Amino acid sequence: MKFFVDTAEIEAIAELNELGMVDGVTTNPSLILKSGRDILEVTKEIADLVDGPVSAEVVATEADAMIEEGRKLAGIAENIAVKVPLTWAGLKACNVLTNEGRMVNVTLCFSANQALLAAKAGATFISPFIGRLDDINLDGMELIADIRTIYDNYDFQTEILAASIRSVNHAFQCAHVGSDVMTAPPKVIKAMAEHPLTDKGLEAFLADWEKTGQKIL
């Protein structure tokens, strides 16, 4: 499973990228706001930093305006994936931009039917929002599994990009059901390395090593 980092914070991306943990980056208007940066400037900096796709989101709601914004964003760098919402206008924009050879990430997906439409429109990525479904007592992971089945049934090439990842359990479950990609905040990706038994075992090993009185260096 590919790891995308869901942030517009350059330092956080760079730290994970140095460890080979970054296959791409996703941003949205809320993350741009949090960064306090100009969207074109920070998107260019991220795209220069990582090799994989960098999702940059349009803010227009009409198809023609989405297409124009998408072209502007795609012009920032070759690895930009234009992010459009899963609305009818967004699907129209997706189809046009895809046919122009651009990567498109269709976001805010909450049903398998929506995912099917996005694949038909030629989306590079479909972004189902796991955490937001869980928030309203629906099973976000069931949606991932349903999309996986549908895409495999018809050999759609659209990649499932699980979004709204809130926990390490979400990360594991996405990998288990076959999501192609997950995008998660840096803190969630780093938390995947943590386990209380690892900490306990390391503490015991270090205590025993101290008793030997030896040094490696």
- pLDDT tens track for 11-54: 999 999 999 999 999 999 999 999 999 999 999 999 999 999 99
Distance set, CA 116 to CA 10, 91, 112, 121, 168 (Å): 34, 11, 6, 9, 27
Write out the catalytic residue numbers. 83
User: pLDDT band at 158, cuts 50/70/90?
Assistant: very high
- H/E element, 57: strand 54-57
- The domain limits of the chain are 2-212
Q: Domain 2-212: give its CATH superfamily.
A: Aldolase class I (3.20.20.70)
96-147 pLDDT, tens digit each: 999 999 999 999 999 999 999 999 999 999 999 999 999 999 999 999 999 9
Res 2: pLDDT: 98
Q: Phi, psi (5° rounding) for residue 51?
A: -85, -30
Q: Can you give the pTM of this predicted structure? A: 0.95
DSSP states of 70-132 as a string? HHHHHTT-TTEEEEEESSHHHHHHHHHHHHTT-EEEEEEE-SHHHHHHHHHTT-SEEEEBHHH
Res 129: pLDDT: 97
Q: What is the mean pLDDT of the chain?
A: 97
User: pLDDT band at 173, cuts 50/70/90?
Assistant: very high
